[in-house]
Amino acid sequence: MSGRIVHIAANTFREAVRDRVLYNLIAFALLMSGAAILVGQISIGIEHLVVINLGLTAVSLFGVVIAIFIGIGLVSKEIDKRTLYTVLSRPVQRWEFIVGKFFGLAGTLVVNTFFMALGVFAALFYVSRHFRAVDGWILVALYFIILQFVIITALALLFSSFSSPLLSAVFAFALFVIGTFSEDLRGFAGLTHGFTRWLATGAAYLVPNFSALNVISSVAHEQPVSGQLIWSNTAYALVYASMALCGAVLIFEHRNLK
Amino acid sequence: MKPSPRITITASILLFACLAGSVLLLQSIDRQRTGATLEEVLYISSPKLVKRLSLGYDGLLADIYWTRAVQYFGDKLTKGSEHFDLLAPLLDITTTLDPHLLVAYEYGANFLSPKPPYGAGQPERAVQLTEFGIRNNPGLWHLYYDLGFIYYVDAKQYAKAAKAFSDGADQPDAHPAMRIMAAKMAEHAGDLQTARMMWSMTFQTAKDPMVQDNAAAHLRALQVDEDVALLERLASQYRDRTGHLPQSFADLEAANLLRGIPVDPLGHTYKLMPDGRVEVRVPDDMPFIEKGMPPGYTPPLKPHLRPES
């Protein structure tokens, strides 16, 4: 990674922190402590499960919202504030700007996830009074959530490179929802014939597959995640995010900024 | 510009006053619309649709639906309701969202199966729920035990109970008593001894104190049923011998039919009535008994599972 990309990434991270993005951690902390204390009183036998399910779901949803709403403004905000021209007037390539923005936001989300993970484990300790070896699978679920953020950040950046913030948010969120149904889409495609099948299968493979990245329920039930899946999901997320990032670079390279 | 302290104080006081006012007004509105907020509605009744709408976060949604089922059952139970219309659909949604949520099968079947006021009186739905649990969690002997329990206690289908226990005995790490239970079902299904064995096993294997209390209360009830039947039989024998009913247990003792004054499992002495019937002294502390209740007795809405507390 060139020094310029690192600088842009660091500035993006600083800007996100200055925008009080990490304030969501307060809401998260309240949610986790509330759940840890309350659930035992209003339900039966699911204290441990709720802390994992609620904690990981909150980590995922908070992160998705941050990725979309910060990601969609990464390019357009710089254009609106005319700071982009200052950056590009220096020896910075357009692709470096996009890649730097991507790493900056991804880094913000990783830091955010790290603190939330601490909250999840603290709540888990409060409920169970001890940790077990199987709790280690929660780390795998958190890793998959980060992979999910990587894809969404790249997609948000892709939309941000050619569209308005509002439309980018709609596109990114719609793709997130569709991505959770991607396995169903492939199933539906398998039921069609001829050209429709070809088209439907193509569309099903084009949308991101978020369902494979969601192992929250499995780890909550202490079911192990195979090393093969960890490897496949890592490769898939990196390839898919790179694809979206390449699209963003291509569009941004050819965009008329005058 | 510096903030004005006067405005800061006034705005702060107004903020808290308005907050308190809104809470009071809302309480007043709730009083006018009693029950409106607790309307018995399941907005989405299709478990599959709820699962689709969960966007993959089905584990959390299952926990929420399970909590709702617990709250619904608890609310109905404390009100002494005989209708639990939403209980089975709530449990269906819960287990469809998370088919591995074992607690929903174990407790859910216990909510559905017993007759009101102790449960929903829907043993057939309890059977469906437990069978769904077995299909999705193969190899768990405890679910077969629950299934056999429902067939035995509430559905009174002893052959099916025997099959459930026998199938459960074939599962890995099955409790050794499962095989004995299957044999007992086949031979002596209606015996008090068999019922006692069932509840003893529940008491021993349950991890939850509430389930243990429930099993202990049933064991006490079985003991009382057995004691009352025996004491009434002795009173009848006394009448056959003497031509009149005993006035007290001391008469039975004097006639060498009894040794000492009999007490129930909680240590209270039984009452011998003038007509030869035997009653428990504190029926409220003896939920689930079928014998020894005063005529016209209505049990409390919430059974006293732990009378000593």
pLDDT at B36: 53
- The alpha carbon of residue B110 is apart from the nearest alpha carbon of chain A, in Å, by 13
Q: Are A137 and A219 in contact (CB under 8 A)?
A: yes
pLDDT one-digit tens code per residue, A175-208: 999 998 888 888 888 888 888 888 888 888 889 9
In a domain, B167, yes or no: yes
Does B39 score more than 60 pLDDT? no
Contacts of B210 in chain A (CB under 8 A): 44
Contacts of B57 in chain A (CB under 8 A): 53, 57, 60-61, 214, 216
pLDDT one-digit tens code per residue, B106-151: 999 999 999 887 889 999 999 999 999 999 999 999 999 999 989 9
C-alpha pair distances (Å), B22 with each of B13, B17, B32? 14, 9, 15
Does B269 lie in the same domain as B164? no
Does B234 lie in the same domain as B121? no
Share of chain A above pLDDT 70, in %: 98
Does B220 lie in the same domain as B181? no
Domain that holds residue B78: 47-190
Does B166 lie in the same domain as B69? yes
Selected residue with higher pLDDT from A93 and A22: A93
First to last CA, chain A: 29
Size of interface A-B (CB pairs under 8 A): 63
> Taking the model in full, what pTM does it have?
0.76
pLDDT at B105: 95
pLDDT at B271: 92
Give dist(CA B122, CA B114) in Å, integer.
Answer: 7
Residue of chain B minimizing CA distance to A179: B55
pLDDT at B309: 47
In a domain, B233, yes or no: yes
Share of chain B above pLDDT 70, in %: 94
pLDDT at B264: 92
For chain A, give percent helix, strand, coil, nearest 5.
85, 0, 15
Which of A43-47, B56-60, B90-94 shows the lowest mean pLDDT across its residues?
A43-47
Does B131 lie in the same domain as B53? yes
Does B224 lie in the same domain as B184? no
**Contact between chains at B59 and A57 (C-beta distance less than 8 A):** yes
Does A69 score more than 60 pLDDT? yes
Q: Are A205 and A186 in contact (CB under 8 A)?
A: yes
Give dist(CA B120, CA B139) in Å, integer.
Answer: 28
In a domain, B53, yes or no: yes
pLDDT at A169: 92
Strands B271-272 and B278-279: antiparallel
Question: Sorting pLDDT into bands at 50, 70 and 90, what band is B13?
Answer: very high
* Predicted-assembly ipTM surpassing the 0.85 threshold: no
Q: What is the mean pLDDT of residues B61-79?
A: 90
Count of structural domains within chain B: 2
Which of A144-158, B8-22, B90-104 shows the lowest mean pLDDT across its residues?
B8-22
**Contact between chains at A61 and B60 (C-beta distance less than 8 A):** no
Does B248 lie in the same domain as B153? no
Give dist(CA B244, CA B247) in Å, integer.
Answer: 9
Cis upstream peptide for B117 (omega within 30°)? yes
- The alpha carbon of residue B11 is apart from the nearest alpha carbon of chain A, in Å, by 25
Residue of chain A minimizing CA distance to B75: A42
Q: What is the mean pLDDT of residues A121-149?
A: 92
Does B1 score more than 70 pLDDT? no
Does B174 lie in the same domain as B51? yes
Closest CA to A77 of A211, A169, A206: A169
pLDDT one-digit tens code per residue, B175-191: 888 888 887 777 666 67
Average model confidence (pLDDT) across chain B: 87
Does B265 lie in the same domain as B173? no
**Contact between chains at B57 and A50 (C-beta distance less than 8 A):** no
pLDDT one-digit tens code per residue, B74-88: 888 888 888 898 999
Residue of chain A minimizing CA distance to B67: A43
Contacts of A220 in chain B (CB under 8 A): 59
Contacts of B52 in chain A (CB under 8 A): 181
Which of A164-173, A232-241, B58-67, B203-212 shows the lowest mean pLDDT across its residues?
B203-212
CB contact set of A157 (below 8 Å; sequence gap of 6+):
A71, A74, A75, A98, A101, A102, A105, A244, A245, A248
Contacts of A50 in chain B (CB under 8 A): 60, 63
> Which CATH number fits the domain that encloses residue B113?
1.25.40.10
- The alpha carbon of residue B2 is apart from the nearest alpha carbon of chain A, in Å, by 24
Does B7 score more than 60 pLDDT? yes
Does B261 score more than 80 pLDDT? yes
For an interface test with B, give the residue of A41, A42, A44 to mutate (most B CBs within 10 A): A44
| The two structure tokens encoding residue B205 | 């294997």
pLDDT at B189: 63
pLDDT at A146: 96
Contacts of B106 in chain A (CB under 8 A): 45
Does B155 lie in the same domain as B88? yes
For chain B, give percent helix, strand, coil, nearest 5.
60, 0, 35
| The two structure tokens encoding residue A34 | 């509330």
Residue of chain B minimizing CA distance to A210: B56
Does B221 lie in the same domain as B177? no
Does B221 lie in the same domain as B153? no
- Listed by start position, the domains of chain A span 3-254
**Contact between chains at B63 and A46 (C-beta distance less than 8 A):** yes
Does B58 score more than 80 pLDDT? yes
Average model confidence (pLDDT) across chain A: 88
